[in-house]
Structure 1
Amino acid sequence: MNRKLVILLSTVYVLFMAGLAIFFHINGQSFKSMVAIGGIVCGAIPLLLALLTKLQFNLPIVLSYLIFLVGSQYLGSIKGWYGLGWWDTIMHLISGAIIAFTAIALYERLIHRDAGNDISPWFVFLFTLSFAALGGVMWEIYEFSSDQFFGMTLQGGGNTDTMTDLIADVVGGLLIAIWAGVRTKVKLTSTNMHSA
């Protein structure tokens, strides 16, 4: 059921962005058209994962991701909410947290089950934080590349904008990484008490 819902929601978002891309292209609004094309690509990620791989993320992560895309691409870039100033920072804070939750989901699916009882909470913390930071860096590379190759202005604030975004990504990831590390420590303590 979750897989079908992920496919449905991702398809709706991709089609919505495709419609916007065509509409803005016809009306000569190239910036908004390019953002919408980016929306098609980003919205297709959970769709492709659901269709082409066995790797499935839980529904709250996919829903959070799609809500984030609406907030960043549609509300932020197309509707102009990034002009509010604080909207960009909020979006990066949220994206850092979402990427950190994705790291936890990946970790729990990819690690060998027998290793779960011996894993260090510090490793979980560092893995989660590093994954969130990497996600933030990859997004800034996307913004930089879009500005350089397509004449967009995603990094309108220059270095200050980039660093503020990265700090917000790391703070969002840090909060979830702390929670993940503590949760792992509690699980280990509980497992050790039951096995003693």
Structure 2
Amino acid sequence: MESVQNRRAIAVERIVWWSVQASLLIGIYYMYSQNNGTKVFMGFLTIGVMVAIALVQRRFQYPLPSIFASIVYGFVFFSVVVGTFGGGYKINHFDDFLHIFSGIWIGYASWLIFRRLIRNGGAANLPNSFIALYMICFSLASAAVWELMEFAGDKLFSFTAQGRDPDDTMIDMIMGLIGGSISAFVILKLRDRGKGKSELE
């Protein structure tokens, strides 16, 4: 049963990957027609990152759970295709939605990393309060790193990710924190029901 579920998850991952790649190429063509070289470069950079993830998945027999990879691809679609190419960032609170979304999958990533580091069932002996603190801190730290990357992109490649309002950076980090907290809450609820390993790995 697990092998069938894994095959289905991998099939979904591949469909999502190809769909996002196709939408990125369409967006790149549109940005090229608008003579927007910065966004064209951003699009090709995003494609390169997604290709790298796919190669790692194939080469090392899917070290990332397919559900997690599909969530990441979905985030790429909303942030780059809808947000950057489609003008989604002009919609009120669209950016807040993305940062909550990113906080959720980063929180999920922190749980996966945690389980890889704490092997032989060691995670089961740790209290929920410690795991929640770890996941929330991980999400907040990742949000800070993301803001640093946005700052670097704006300065080095003339992106416009952060704008000029310092409040935007702080709100983005708060949204990431909220997303990480949501992820921690859901995972710990499932963990208490004894489903953590079977449903979240």
Task: Please say whether Structure 1 and Structure 2 have the same fold, judged by a TM-score greater than 0.5.
Answer: yes
Matched, 1:74 2:84: no
Report whether the alignment pairs 1:56 with 2:72: no
Distance 1:104 1:45 in 2: 22
Quick one: which of 172, 182, 193 aligns to 1:175?
182
- The corresponding residue for 1:190 is none
Task: For structure 1, list consecutive stretches of 5 or more residues without a partner in the other structure.
Answer: 188-196
RMSD of Structure 2 on Structure 1 (CA): 2.5
Q: Is the deviation greater in 85-94 or in 40-49?
A: 40-49
2:104 aligns to what?
97
Is the Cα–Cα contact under 8 Å of residues 101 and 179 in structure 2 kept in the other structure?
yes
Alpha-carbon distance, 1:5 to partner = 4.8
* TM-score using structure 1 length: 0.80
Aligned length: 187
Task: Tell me which amino acid in the other structure corresponds to 1:174.
Answer: S
- The 5-angstrom pairing of residues 1-196 of structure 1 reads 1=7, 2-3=9-10, 5-7=12-14, 9-14=16-21, 16-18=23-25, 20-21=27-28, 24-25=31-32, 27-54=34-61, 56-185=63-192, 187=194
AA matched with 2:64: F
**What secondary structure, in the 3-state scheme, does the structure 2 residue paired with 1:44 have?**
helix
**Any idea what SS the aligned residue of 1:113 has?**
coil
Equivalent pair of 1:7/1:46 in contact (CA under 8 Å): no
CA contact (8 A) 1:32 1:77 kept: yes
State the 1:24 CA deviation: 3.3
Contact in 2 for aligned 1:6/1:59 (Cα 8 Å): yes
How far residue 15 of structure 1 moved from its aligned partner, in angstroms, is 5.5
